Amino acid sequence: MGEVGLAPFQILAAFLFACGVACFVTKRNAIGLLMGVELILNAANLNLVAAARFVPGLRIEGQVFAVIVIVLAAAEAAVALAIFLNFYNNHATVDVDQANESKG
């Protein structure tokens, strides 16, 4: 793994992040938004692991933070899906444009 440095992984992570942002902005379906968030979190995670590999001071820290991000992403997906299911029960749709009346 000597010839691929830190920068290619960072560029790949930047591309994933940009795709996640575009997905988050353009999708109407709430689960589509969730997929965008997953892409963004994966981009951050890829950056963390690449930093752990290539920065000497982050050997263990990068992996630890990556594991923590994976756990938090799983928790976020679970609670967001629960909220969307609740919203679907009440409104019979998951279109986020119609979510402005979700209070009460």
Closest-CA residue to 76 (of 88, 84, 86, 65): 84
CB of 50 to another protein, least distance (A): 6
Helix (H, G, I), strand (E, B) or coil at 96: helix
34 binds another protein (CB under 8 A): yes
Q: How far apart are CA 62 and CA 47, in angstroms?
A: 9
Size of the site for another protein (CB under 8 A): 79
33 binds another protein (CB under 8 A): no
44 binds another protein (CB under 8 A): no
Q: How far apart are CA 58 and CA 48, in angstroms?
A: 9
Q: How far apart are CA 104 and CA 90, in angstroms?
A: 11
Token pair belonging to 94: 């998951």
Site for another protein in 13-32 (CB under 8 A): 13-23, 25-32
Site for another protein in 54-93 (CB under 8 A): 54-56, 59-61, 63-64, 66-68, 70-79, 81-86, 88-93
CB of 36 to another protein, least distance (A): 8
96 binds another protein (CB under 8 A): no
